[in-house]
Amino acid sequence: MNFEGTAVAMVTPFNEDLTIDEEGFRQNINWLIDQGVDGLVGVGTTGESATLNHEEHHKVIDILIDEVDGRVTTFAGTGSNATSEALSLTKYAEDAGADFALVITPYYNKPQQHGVIEHFRQLNDNCDIDIVAYNVPSRTGLDMAPETIVELAKMDNITALKEASSDVDKASKTMRLLRQNQLEDDIVVLSGSDELTLPLMSIGAKGVISASANIDPRRMVLMVNSILDGQMDKALDLHYEMYDLIKALFMESSPAPAKEALKMMGMPAGPLRLPLVPMLDENREHLRKVLIEAGIIE
């Protein structure tokens, strides 16, 4: 399966007792679909996946698939630092009916590059679901080399890469290497850094998995579609319109700012689970100012 366009890395709204706010999650799903997004991600990094137990993880995936009901593409976060756990979660997502499994590289362990290849090979060989390999070294302490990504592209079920290394030159090397090996049609590259979506798409990426689109989905969709349609001047205007908001949404560890912004918008979000904590007062006020300037709140 190929994907292009805008997918939203959704927050997981919690009730005040830190249980999952199912009604709020369903509300957010429908709002985002109404804004024109092409895909939705449950229990990714923005969804505080690292603080959910497996039963809760399964619940979020089930709610996502049930509420979307085929209207947009569904991505289930299924990564873990243990290959056995990632395999179990990926099989669950497959059985539940997700379109893609979003699998982060193994964190903390810091495996060698051939260990990363073997990790994904185990998922590829034991599941039939399409897999998005997620490279985010700022979170994991591990950066997939372009040569590693080429090896993943040779696997039947690894059909997309979420690239969040913030290194556009490295992304160029990756896409060039894929072209040289005639693999550019076998793996779609998606931006994993919102502020670099336009640069990455200018060198061959086909869309974004976006955290900021929880807050401003319509403009992100419009920018991505403009790039896909070759309207680069329009896309550039939108890129700079969103820039301050994107930076504000990452001034503290994600998803703390996104959840705060959703609260300001009157949308379901709820508290954070420790070790994430509420934003500092001065940062919260800066975020409010940016949201007002962006026309998102009054």
Residues with active-site annotation: 134, 162
Q: Yes or no: say if 135 and 161 are a contact pair by the CB < 8 Å rule.
A: yes
Inter-CA distances, 142 with 78, 185, 248, Å: 18, 26, 25
DSSP character for 278? Answer: P
| SS3 assignment, position 5 | strand
Tokens encoding 288: 């409010």
| SS3 assignment, position 131 | strand
Torsion, Cα of 122, 123, 127, 128 (10° steps) = -120
Instruction: Indicate the length of the chain as a whole number.
Output: 298
Q: Yes or no: say if 7 and 208 are a contact pair by the CB < 8 Å rule.
A: yes
Amino acid at residue number 36: G
Dihedral sign for Cα atoms in the order 83, 146, 193, 25 = negative
Rounded distance between C-alpha atoms, residue 6 and residue 23, angstroms:
24
DSSP character for 57? Answer: H
